Amino acid sequence: MGGFRICFLGVLLCCWAAIGEATGYMKYKDSKQPLMVRVKDLTSRMTLEEKIGQMTQIERSVASAEIMKKYFIGSVLSGGGSVPAPKASPQTWVKMANDFQKGSLSTRLGIPMIYGIDAVHGHNNVYNATIFPHNVGLGATRDPELVKRIGAATALEVRATGLQYVFAPCIAVCRDPRWGRCYESYSEDPKIVQAMTEIIPGLQGDVPSNSKKGIPYVGGKKKVAACAKHYVGDGGTHNGINENNTIINHQGLMRIHMPPYFNSIIKGVSTVMVSYSSWNGEKMHANRDLVTDFLKNKLRFRGFVISDWQGIDRITSPPGVNYSYSVLAGVHAGIDMVMVPYNYTDFIDDLTIQVKNKVIPMTRIDDAVRRILRVKFTMGLFENPMADLSFVDELGKQGHRELAKEAVRKSLVLLKNGKSADKPLVPLPKKAPKILVAGSHADNLGYQCGGWTIQWQGLSGNDLTSGTTILTAIKATVDPATKVVFNENPDANFVKANDFSYAIVVVGEPPYAETAGDSLNLTISDPGPSTIQNVCGAVQCVVVIISGRPVVIEPYVSSIDALVAAWLPGTEGQGVTDVLFGDYSFSGKLARTWFKSVDQLPMNVGDPHYDPLFPFGFGLTTKPSSVRLTSAGVLSNGGIYYSMVSLSMSLFINLLFFIHT
């Protein structure tokens, strides 16, 4: 009789479930249901095909509404420079995103897709967006609150184009400036990188006080899902070679490269991207110990883990030579969403076969899908899957450009001011009969912005997007009676013959991204060195370096009167002249050691062989306007205070975190 009752009860429950579906009520569609109830309900309804679709991210160039529907694709991305049309408007972006979304919503279960893009210094793929300084400059500001505001502005500009997910921030701790991605790193010091994870609540919103640690959080339609990358050790590869091997013991990995991930998880980061690099010879994309056992289990990260672009392909050498093995190794390691990005049918077919043959257990697939759905539910995607035009005016708006100017001003580091301390050159006088502006980077917006701007590798010239070059800003700043002469690479005779009051020379590196930026010599690009010599040998000069990292300048320093590290300032060149001419003070401090010679590398603060040209934390200061004050030193009192507070807070946060876990 007891067996009959149990059987009858089971039949009754099935009938109730059937009635629920027939009447259209599904718990996962009810926003009043608890998050995990919705996740569990939806997962229980999904076929293997639908689950694997959710784990698949494809490039927009191969996506369509039909593809989204047929393969149940969970995510679309734009690679560097991948846009719906040249100089596309926000409206064009919104239409494209909504076309893909309509395909997703027309599937049996109507699971919305999530669209990801590399918004690493503003919404940098998009024409007319505000381009902020790259992270190397933001680290020099020592201002986490500023970085949080940049995150909030970036989120609004991304939402203006109908997208909801950014592959940012990069929280690499770059230990060797020869690395082509060093400008994506805030600092060589993990404490500064930890502090700058404040960009995450800027992008996503502040985690509610009652939220459990490790749970992803995105606070509504004005915010986007963020991605901490690249997990882990990408900034420590041997000789700074991109995608190479990070050779360091477990204690060193935990002390240098892991701390920013602690903070990111505490702040509710939605996703973590795995690094192309290896740790002591083991590819991170195949490292189950660090991805599953440490990140997911020990740190209790509850968002989803995403691969890098064709990241699982690169588990083998050459890439893709044994794709089935790559799929197995990557998914087994704990990767939840795979950035395919093109050959999605190969990935789907391989993973399906391996699950059906029980090579990959269904529990691993379910874990991945639950994590992806948790983020989508948390974002409110099920309630608001379609983008609208309500945010289009946020793209490149003046308030964001003012914020970018503030970031530029605070990022500038004054390395030298006058050939003697009692005769400073900056602030420069606005009233002068005639001044010279020279250098390949003085009137080149593309050079100013660097890589990851409109195109993956960046561009040269002034027609790539909207912005202000340093030359244009100089002309707008000086007295109307001052004659500004621009000569990109003058010879010494020209300089001597023109009786200039002073010269501003702007030189540096050309744009680059990733492996294309790897460099063993770290030199200023030609004709930069000869421009410095020709100009500074004939007239008082301030040299402004536009670069993604410290570069070789030791041979020229003695001939230079004033030297400024401006990093990659972005579209708002006015921020540079605001400080050069004394409307604001120099306040930036080096977040990277400036070496004398590349033969010293790698060299970071605290190393036994530490002998820099300009040490970590160095930065002269000025006072605005006519009052001039310089103060040399490794660290100002404010810098020492910052470091002590940062260290104390960092230790306190990490202690609380590990007590919790």
List the catalytic residues: 308, 514
Counts for the chain of helices (H) and strands (E), in that order: 22, 17
State the Cα angle at 613 between 608 and 614, rounded to 5°. Answer: 95
| Residue 435: strand, helix, or coil | strand
CB 448 within 8 A of CB 572: no
State the Cα angle at 314 between 309 and 318, rounded to 5°. Answer: 135
CB 334 within 8 A of CB 296: yes
State phi, psi for 70 to the nearest 5 degrees.
-65, -40
Alpha helices in 273-413 (DSSP H): 288, 323-333, 344-356, 362-379, 398-411
Pairwise CA distance, residues 348 & 332, whole Å: 15
- Is the sign of the CA dihedral 33, 35, 38, 44 positive or negative? negative
Name 349's bridge partners. Answer: none
State the Cα angle at 344 between 261 and 347, rounded to 5°. Answer: 75
DSSP assignment string, 27-79: GGG-TTS-HHHHHHHHHHH--HHHHHHHTEEEEGGG--HHHHHHHT--EEEE-
Name 614's bridge partners. Answer: 594
**Is beta strand 413-417 parallel, antiparallel or unpaired with respect to 562-567?**
antiparallel
Amino acid at 112: P
State phi, psi for 437 to the nearest 5 degrees.
-120, 125
Distance of CA 647 to the CA centre of its chain: 23
